[in-house]
Amino acid sequence: MRMSKRTKELAANLNLNDAEAAVMELKFQLYQQASKSILKSKLTHEDIAKKIGTSRARITRIANLGENSLSIELLIKIITTLEHRMPLKVA
């Protein structure tokens, strides 16, 4: 995975090592993909929340990129559930 220039700058400002910066970049990309998946889904936020096992309010915050505390696991659950595919390939 290539890190964006912005991620590298932010990681440097936060004194993050390369591994921490890579996790930050991965999480950001998954967050954006989960948000897009929610927004283009024909399901209601309530239906998505039930399938994922979280609250409707949290799904709405994720869709609006307003959730502060997210796990990579939750983001992958959302993407996999709504797009019926894995969001990334591991080599």
Range of the domain at 9: 5-83
- Return the pLDDT at 50: 97
Q: Is residue 55 part of a domain?
A: yes
Tokens of 2: 């290539």
Number of domains present in the structure of the chain: 1
Q: What is the pLDDT of residues 4-20, one digit of tens each?
A: 778 788 888 889 998 99
Burial of 62 (0-12, 13-18, 19+ CB in 10 A): buried
Q: Is residue 91 part of a domain?
A: no
- Give this prediction's pTM: 0.84
Average pLDDT over residues 53-75: 95
Q: Is residue 89 part of a domain?
A: no
Q: How confident is the model at residue 1 (pLDDT cuts 50, 70, 90)?
A: low
